[in-house]
Amino acid sequence: MTDVFGASHKDVHEQVVFCADEQSGLRAIIAIHNTALGPALGGTRFYPYENEQAALADVLNLARGMSYKNALAGLDLGGGKAVIIGDPARDKSEALLRAYGRFVESIGGRYITACDVGTYSEDMDVIARESRHVTGRTPAHGGAGDSSILTAFGVFQGMRASAERVYGTPSLHGKRVGVEGVGKVGHRLVELLREDGAEVVICDVAPKAVERVRARRPEVDVVADARAMARSDIDVFAPCALGGVLDDEMVAELRAKIVCGAANNQLAHSGVEKQLAEREILYAPDYVVNSGGVIQVADEIEGFDMERARSKATQIYDTTLKIFAIAADEGVPPAVAADRLAERRMSEVGRLRAIWLGD
């Protein structure tokens, strides 16, 4: 049974909303973790969870991650997330998305939604017909469009910072990078890596995703799965699929010196960050380096400008280096240093709301 109220102060969520509409088949959960910095912003994941408990556990973890991600991205936004239970290829419909939009609207702006696994900008346009609190819309509707553009760009900036820390140069030229998952974000990351002169090896559970990359980049190597990738001779491991890939067995087998990827919640459990540090594998915290997407969609709130958003995403390089420096100074893994930095901003800036502004 998932503990909705959390086992520690870090995991306590402010609000969890269960949404159901029988006629459209909607079953969704919206989780708001923390609004100290502003309304909670986070995507909507449409996924065929095994059961409602699995969906709840996922949305709680993802919402918490968004609080920390938005804090370190320098945004005046809190953290939230939503999941729709079902197979998007089979269950997604206009009625379902609009029913979901009405639930988002009913929260009164405390939660702002966007795209995630299984949802796209076109879906956000449909949801926006029922709610004002939607980002990640299509350019035709004044939106940022596909947020994977700056997600991949931000991961690349984090990877450059990691290379600077480990190899003394902010370049992946000549390094062999394993990209696990070449979907929305992963295939764009492959392009950035090849343009920088990196060797790339990929894997994906979807053969079509692999074929798409190989059609454009036939020089890219392919392995069977993440385990095979971990055992191969790579310098950097980039998890860009679903979370939890870095478990005890994976860390024990991993030959890379850097882990830096787009997937959320890459560490299978607490303590994995220490195992990585003990093996002298540099871990770039996922919610730091994959924040380019939320930076992109958040920019819509004041009227989207890609150059402005891209400039902000470039700062992921400096933030990642700062976290590595704090980790070294304080003798803690980078994941711990990142948490401390995010919590400090939420506390120091969030408390300013107590200053009375008058009626």
**Known catalytic membership, residue 175:** no
- Other residues' Cβ atoms within 10 Å of the Cβ of residue 74: 15
Per the CB < 8 A criterion, the answer to whether 168 and 155 are in contact is no
Element housing 47 (H / E): strand 44-47
CA 264/CA 286 separation, integer angstroms: 6
Matching residue, tokens 């609207």: 105
HSE-CB at 15 with a 13 A cutoff on CA atoms is: 17
CA 107/CA 111 separation, integer angstroms: 7
Given the residues 10, 69, 81, 274, select the one marked as catalytic.
Answer: 81
- Alpha carbon separation from 269 to 51, 266, 323, 337 (Å, rounded): 21, 9, 21, 17
DSSP labels for 231-285? HS--SEEEE-SSS--B-HHHHHH---SEE--S-SS-BSSTTHHHHHHHTT-EE--
Contacts of 23 (CB under 8 A, 6+ apart): 95
| Active-site annotation, residues | 81
